[in-house]
Structure 1
Amino acid sequence: MLRQVLHRGLRTCFSRLGHFIASHPVFFASAPVLISILLGASFSRYQVEESVEHLLAPQHSLAKIERNLVNSLFPVNRSKHRLYSDLQTPGRYGRVIVTSFQKANMLDQHHTDLILKYYRKISVFENPADLVWRSFLEFAQVI
Structure 2
Amino acid sequence: MLRQVLHEGLRTSFHKLGHFVANHPVFFASAPVLISILLGASFSRYRIEENVEYLLAPKHSLAKIEGNLVDSLFPVNRSKHTLYSDLQTPGRYGRVIVTSRRGSVLDPHHVNSVLKVSNISLE
Same fold (TM over 0.5): yes
Q: Deviations over 1:70-117 (max 9, x none)?
A: 323343344454233422368xx775534344x2666638x939x94x
What is the alpha-carbon distance in structure 2 between the residues aligned to residue 105 and residue 15 of structure 1?
77
Pick the structure with greater CA Rg: 1
SS at match of 1:108: helix
SS at match of 2:82: coil
1:19-98 equivalences in 2 (<5 Å): 19-88=19-88, 95-98=95-98
Aligned length: 115
CA shift in 2, pair 1:99/1:74, >3 Å: closer
- Answer with 57-66 or 76-85: which moved more: 76-85
Give 1:43 shift: 2.7
Give 1:48 shift: 1.0
Structure 1, unmatched stretches of 5+, are 121-143
Choose between structure 1 and 2 for higher RCO, CA contacts under 8 A separated by at least 6 residues: 1
Match of 1:12 in 2: 12
Q: Deviations over 1:32-77 (max 9, x none)?
A: 1222223333333332112211111100000111121232334334
